[in-house]
């Protein structure tokens, strides 16, 4: 049993990108689907599909690479962990890496990027950072 399913998702994506795999499979949950939707909207992955082939549904994530077969995800890491939750108000959500990196936040209005949270003037729990 995994104590942190979001960290498991991020680790599978990171390991798959480093191994140059075309897809990775992760166990399904609604929060993982929302994270994968944001990654697709930000252009870090090609797409995803939910597979019900087995008893337990999975999410198949299609990783994205450039023309030289380098992954577009150089860094993907969990920020807020089950043992140490990290919450940030909107005035502390400064752009990182000159705005080229993306933070995924869990807010009262659902999951969103840090750019969207600043636009909506909302803070929340910082789940992960991707660049």
What are the structural domains, with CATH classification, of the chain?
A: 5-63 (3.30.1370.30), 76-130 (3.30.1490.10)
Residues 25-80: pLDDT tens digits?
999 999 999 999 999 999 999 999 999 988 999 999 999 999 999 999 999 999 99
DSSP 6-51: HHHHHHHHHHHHHTT-SEEEEE--HHHHHHHHHHHHTTSEEEEEEE
Banded model confidence at residue 12, pLDDT cuts 50, 70, 90: very high
Asked whether the predicted pLDDT for residue 1 surpasses 70, the reply is: no
Q: For residues 33, 16, 42 and 100, what is the CA-based torsion angle, rounded to 10 degrees?
A: 140
Residues 86-110: pLDDT tens digits?
999 999 999 999 989 999 999 999 9
Give residue 2's pLDDT.
Answer: 65
Location of structure tokens 């992954």:
71
């Amino acid at each position: 049993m995994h104590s942190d399913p979001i960290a498991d998702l991020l680790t599978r994506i990171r390991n798959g990108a480093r191994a140059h795999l075309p897809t990775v499979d992760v166990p399904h949950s609604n929060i993982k689907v929302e994270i994968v939707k944001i990654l697709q909207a930000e252009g870090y992955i090609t797409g995803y599909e939910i597979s019900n082939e087995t008893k337990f549904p999975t999410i198949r994530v299609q990783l994205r690479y450039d023309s030289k077969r380098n992954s577009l995800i150089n860094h993907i890491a969990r920020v807020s962990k089950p043992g140490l939750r990290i919450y940030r108000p909107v005035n502390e959500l400064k752009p990182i890496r000159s705005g080229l990196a993306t933070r995924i936040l869990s807010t009262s209005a659902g999951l969103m990027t840090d750019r969207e949270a600043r636009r909506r003037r909302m803070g929340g729990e910082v789940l992960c950072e991707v660049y």
